[in-house]
Structure 1
Amino acid sequence: MWRLILENFRQLIAASVERYGNRTAFTLKEGKGRYRDISYNRFGEDVRCLGQALLSRGYQNQPVAIIGKNSYQWVLVNAAVQVAGGISVPLDKELKYDEFLECLIRSEVKAVFYDKKEKENVEKAVASGLTKVEEAFPLFGITGDKKEETIFDLTGYGSALLGNGETGIDDVEIDGNRTSVLLFTSGTTSQSKIVMLSQKNIVSNVDSVMLLNIIREDDTNIALLPYHHTFGGTGQWVMLAAGARTVYCDGLKHIQSNFREYGVSVFVGVPLIVETLYKRIKKTVESKKMSGRVMALRLMTRGLDKAGIDVRRKVFSGIQDALGGHMRMVVLGAAAADPECIKALNDFGITCIQGYGLTETSPILSAERPDHLRSGSVGLPLPGIEMKIDMPDDNGVGEILAKGNNIMAGYYGNKEATDQVLEDGWFHTGDLGRRDKDGYFYITGRKKNVIVLRNGKNVFPEELEQEVSQLPYVLENIVLGVPDGGDERDPVVTLKLVYNPDSFPGKTSEEIYDLVKNDVEKINDTTPPYKRIRKIMVTDEPMIKTSTGKVRRFMELQKITEENA
């Protein structure tokens, strides 16, 4: 383990280049059976060249947007913008045109680097005359009627400048405390806030994660979480700091074959990914009528593990093979994970570490430790970060507050919203949680999600959602307080459940509803009367989600309320 103790990305990149040199930083697929390795030395040189080009074009202190799928080019542009003293504006590639345009306007972007799928939207936005965009560069080569200046041309241009003695990139003064990244929070674009993060914010978070010693030099990471998501973006910086190799997925339906193809040993992701993988494994085990045997082996290996004998990977080698044969660790965040799924994967020899954080905190606040996993917990605060429970109730539940070098400066152009969440250096997360006697934190819900009944009782929807998610046919579910007859003061605890059609072959929609209702009534029997689900909505249509798989609660509530009006 080594510490960074750095304040900016240029220092981080230089430290990684010096330490890892010719080790592979990225492996890129260039065709069937053809791959290209990018070393740490090559990455450092590419960043320097592109950074010099951006500097010469006048992008120091200017916002530069990046939109596209995860790729080496995405990482390269982001790093180059940072070392040139610019401001990165990562955008979600799933944005519709109007949302994309508004993001460009609100963040006052001067240049855009884009994926080929975004070409039409970028050209339309630039032509609108409503933005401050002066130049746009494809992340990949695009053929058309005219030659376009791509990222490769720009990097070559920077290389030529350096060759001619123009080395201003080496002298750029980087203020680690200045805003260097603008990130849009999830939500509808007009309502979303723009988080201002500095290089020091993110680098300090990378340093805190490094102290956990969970990522190794010999790891191969597959970049699944979108880079525009701060968990994915910071996660990539951690991989570079740790000396790991990064590869890219051909699409979620190819994820298991990619695990095998690259020998993936670790990834940063959201619970939806591992829960989907676990359901596939579970279905295979059940189809072979081996559930009882697998559970017996899990209990046996747990006992041996407590005695210091770890044979999990050997005993469950078949399951390991299904995940590529090298998977050793998964770092999860962004949403609560199914405890049974996490327990099972840990039993199979794959360490699942659950973390917690927000965009405003760069993002990681807490995480489990590999040798101290606690079911349902999001672990202990990371080194250098303070967390506390504000105004706990009789059950110890209150709002989680955090303090540290990773906390944002505020929301861009929104002092009122900033003042609401930052107080004396403490950030109000808006999340409700509790802390046990050993200091481990547990998330109980979002303040905004709490359903306040007319009698004053509080219902935490996440608790009910966790129970419902245990039903074998459930793909996703959400519990909301839907106004009764339009009266927002009298919400009805309502469940919307998306089922897997394959679980009900030959069943009518009425029969499916009755089966679901029967299962929900069993859950209600174990729940205090005021918490019980009063209304059920059953569908096989996916819910409205963000690009990272989070259900958009407010939009779902709006939709249900309108349907019931």
Structure 2
Amino acid sequence: MLDLGKLSCLGEALRDATITYKSRTALIEADRHRENSRHTFAELRAAAERFAAGLQVHGFGPGDRCAIVMQNQSKWLIGATGALWAGAVLVPIDYKLTAPEQHALIAHCRPRVVLAEWPAWDKLQREDPSVFERTLVIVTEAPEGAGIGRALRWEDLPQGAGFTYYPRAREDVACIVYSSGTGGLPKGCQLSHGNYLAQAETLGNLYPLSEGDRYFSILPTNHAIDFMCGFLLALFMGGAVVHQRTLRPAYLASTMKRYGITHMALVPTILKTLEKKIKDKIAELPKWQRLVLDGLMDLNEYATRQAPNHALSKTLLAPIHEYFGGKLRLMFCGGAFVDRSSAEYFNRLGLPVVIGYGLTEAGTVLTVNDLKPFRGDSVGKPVAGTEIELRDVNDAGVGEVWVRGPTVMLGYLDAPELTRETIVDGWLRTGDLGSIDAAGHLKLFGRTKNMIVTEGGKNVYPEDIEAAFGDIDDCEEFCVFAANYIWPTGKMTDEQLIVVVRPKAGLDEARRADLIDAFRKRNLRLADYKRISAYVLWDREFPRTASQKIKRDPLARELKPLGRDLALREL
């Protein structure tokens, strides 16, 4: 049983783990079919202490911030562990953001140290250098002769420097996690050591790891799910974390087989990709084999209807389980709405998907399915210590989800007004719409916020996207919406971003077409998950406040009668 109640901080929990499990394997890093590195817990401790000492030599102190801009790899966890031991506040930054977006977040959080992988730093150092004037930049894997500027190479950190461990209090900030892009106001969620310890204890006791268990870290470690499951929880419980530097589908299955992966976390897009691969392979079988397999899947579903039974499922459906390495027991899926049919399909295969619901503002999960029995139609019950309340409930029993509990953040960095709007008397307003059934399970139906969560688990705020378009000739004004905000579907899937465009008066059809083409070209510069999929042409003036901000709600109400199918045109 995982008991973290007496510990004061993440650093203390990680130090305990490196002593308790010192001879076990902690980290494995592979690149395609080659193994790059392997660390025991004792070796992880030594490497993390060296990194912490390197920070302290340069004046890093408790409460200073350490931003990390790296793809998944052992150095991510080594650096984060060392920084926590030096008393740091971690700031995990999405490696897939553009350099200007990453730069904006760094400017906002003002870290004392930035730990960056070479390709990221190569781009970041071309941005405004003033942001880094008082920042120590440590860069990994920079080629010989590369122009690293003012940065220090990871390999050149001081050897043998003295190290001092600094414990933190449960109420101290442990991480600042950004919940959206940066075109508008960066939203830095301040999560405490207590927030993370409470979440880890709950999840660790629901889904324990033990010696020999191996967690495959394929979601970005800055993602809330992987930060918890693929860093903190796996190490707290003595499991090994496996990183594959090349996440092409061709290498996923081979890595799982080679290292005997037992646990992994996914977002719905990856789950759907795996489902398609399995179904394509099954479709190639002779008809009689497909019928036999279908019967075995039915038998497994019946036999495991109360709780998973990995040994039985692996026996009944051995070829499918061997495709995943033969040891996979659990897949955690969240970050976006999980399609019920996909979850049920994997459950029939004896590869249960743990479905949860959470927000960056509240750690990893607020509700989760415990698989006893499996249910694919909900996001589960509230985890221990978490309360859920529905407000403004309609006749169908659907209301806005408000939550209270030990994982709710302290607030947004440097945004007291936004914090007061989001956390009211200790209750976090999620902006999600849901209902609670007789068994206490939460079901989600949509959002009150003008926001979407992509199938890849990214939070995208339309207000942030608008900054990418700036001034476009012949455009009087424009506004970006989540389509479901205007035309609710009652579903959490098939969400899309749209732009409402008001051309300047008097434009002929050719110039209107050129205007839309200008939006189309700017759109292609955005990260794929931020792209707008459709547009609406609008000839009336947008409603605005006295300070000239667009009134989104009144504009959405004006657009609604047009109807989704008739109004939207592909961008």
TM exceeding 0.5: yes
Amino acid at match of 1:434: S
Residue 251 (str. 1) matches residue 247 (str. 2): yes
Amino acid at match of 1:245: A
Q: CA deviation at 1:479?
A: 5.5
**Does the 8 Å CA contact 1:66/1:112 hold for their aligned counterparts?**
yes
> 1:335-414 to 2 correspondence within 5 Å?
335-414=336-415
Q: CA deviation at 1:26?
A: 0.8
User: Residue 92 of structure 2 aligns with which residue?
Assistant: 90
Go from structure 1 to structure 2 and tell me whether the alpha carbon gap of 1:223 and 1:17 turns closer, same or farther (over 3 Å shift): same
Q: CA deviation at 1:384?
A: 2.1
**Does the 8 Å CA contact 1:386/1:403 hold for their aligned counterparts?**
yes
Q: CA deviation at 1:331?
A: 0.6
Amino acid at match of 2:394: D
Q: CA deviation at 1:359?
A: 0.8
Amino acid at match of 2:205: L
**Does the 8 Å CA contact 2:105/2:186 hold for their aligned counterparts?**
no
Q: CA deviation at 1:409?
A: 0.9
User: Residue 494 of structure 1 aligns with which residue?
Assistant: none
Go from structure 1 to structure 2 and tell me whether the alpha carbon gap of 1:119 and 1:13 turns closer, same or farther (over 3 Å shift): same
> 1:482-561 to 2 correspondence within 5 Å?
551-552=529-530, 555-556=532-533
Q: CA deviation at 1:441?
A: 1.1
Go from structure 1 to structure 2 and tell me whether the alpha carbon gap of 1:121 and 1:71 turns closer, same or farther (over 3 Å shift): same
Cα distance in 2, alignment partners of residues 281 and 129 from structure 1: 51
Q: CA deviation at 1:461?
A: 3.3
Cα distance in 1, alignment partners of residues 135 and 392 from structure 2: 49
**Does the 8 Å CA contact 1:450/1:458 hold for their aligned counterparts?**
no
Deviations 1:148-173 (A, max 9, x none): 7322332xx2x5123xxxx4x23x24
Aligned counterpart in structure 2 of residue 263 of structure 1, from 260, 264, 268: 260
Cα distance in 2, alignment partners of residues 153 and 336 from structure 1: 44
Amino acid at match of 1:463: K
Cα distance in 2, alignment partners of residues 327 and 545 from structure 1: 38
Go from structure 1 to structure 2 and tell me whether the alpha carbon gap of 1:130 and 1:35 turns closer, same or farther (over 3 Å shift): closer
Amino acid at match of 1:478: E
Cα distance in 2, alignment partners of residues 69 and 84 from structure 1: 22
Deviations 1:503-554 (A, max 9, x none): xxxxxxxxxxxxxxxxxxxxxxxxxxxxxxxxxxxxxxxx98998x9x448x
Go from structure 1 to structure 2 and tell me whether the alpha carbon gap of 1:359 and 1:544 turns closer, same or farther (over 3 Å shift): farther
SS at match of 1:218: coil
User: Residue 191 of structure 1 aligns with which residue?
Assistant: 185
**Does the 8 Å CA contact 1:331/1:354 hold for their aligned counterparts?**
yes
SS at match of 2:44: helix
**How many pairs are equivalent?**
483
SS at match of 1:25: strand
User: Residue 461 of structure 1 aligns with which residue?
Assistant: 489
User: Residue 200 of structure 1 aligns with which residue?
Assistant: 194
SS at match of 1:248: strand
SS at match of 2:354: strand
Amino acid at match of 1:219: D
Cα distance in 1, alignment partners of residues 247 and 228 from structure 2: 21
Amino acid at match of 1:206: A
TM-score, normalised by the number of residues in structure 1 = 0.78
**Does the 8 Å CA contact 1:114/1:137 hold for their aligned counterparts?**
yes
User: Residue 9 of structure 1 aligns with which residue?
Assistant: 10
Cα distance in 1, alignment partners of residues 568 and 258 from structure 2: 47
SS at match of 1:187: coil
TM-score, normalised by the number of residues in structure 2 = 0.77
Cα distance in 1, alignment partners of residues 115 and 80 from structure 2: 10
**Does the 8 Å CA contact 1:109/1:132 hold for their aligned counterparts?**
no
Go from structure 1 to structure 2 and tell me whether the alpha carbon gap of 1:134 and 1:562 turns closer, same or farther (over 3 Å shift): farther
Cα distance in 2, alignment partners of residues 30 and 331 from structure 1: 24
Q: CA deviation at 1:68?
A: 1.2
User: Residue 280 of structure 1 aligns with which residue?
Assistant: 277
Go from structure 1 to structure 2 and tell me whether the alpha carbon gap of 1:215 and 1:393 turns closer, same or farther (over 3 Å shift): farther
Deviations 1:189-248 (A, max 9, x none): 423311111222212211121121343332111101101122221222111112111111
Go from structure 1 to structure 2 and tell me whether the alpha carbon gap of 1:35 and 1:297 turns closer, same or farther (over 3 Å shift): same
Q: CA deviation at 1:30?
A: 7.2
User: Residue 495 of structure 1 aligns with which residue?
Assistant: none
Go from structure 1 to structure 2 and tell me whether the alpha carbon gap of 1:145 and 1:353 turns closer, same or farther (over 3 Å shift): closer
Q: CA deviation at 1:108?
A: 1.3
Percent of residue pairs identical: 22
**Does the 8 Å CA contact 1:462/1:479 hold for their aligned counterparts?**
no
Deviations 1:89-133 (A, max 9, x none): 2111122222122112111123211112113223223x6324444
User: Residue 480 of structure 2 aligns with which residue?
Assistant: none
User: Residue 319 of structure 1 aligns with which residue?
Assistant: 320
User: Residue 490 of structure 1 aligns with which residue?
Assistant: none
**Does the 8 Å CA contact 1:264/1:324 hold for their aligned counterparts?**
yes
**Does the 8 Å CA contact 1:450/1:460 hold for their aligned counterparts?**
no
Residue 180 (str. 1) matches residue 208 (str. 2): no
SS at match of 1:186: coil
Q: CA deviation at 1:146?
A: 7.3
Aligned counterpart in structure 1 of residue 107 of structure 2, from 105, 108, 121: 105
Go from structure 1 to structure 2 and tell me whether the alpha carbon gap of 1:122 and 1:483 turns closer, same or farther (over 3 Å shift): closer
Aligned counterpart in structure 1 of residue 218 of structure 2, from 224, 228, 236: 224
Go from structure 1 to structure 2 and tell me whether the alpha carbon gap of 1:462 and 1:98 turns closer, same or farther (over 3 Å shift): farther
| Runs of 5+ unmatched residues, structure 1 | 452-456, 466-476, 487-542
**Does the 8 Å CA contact 2:400/2:430 hold for their aligned counterparts?**
yes
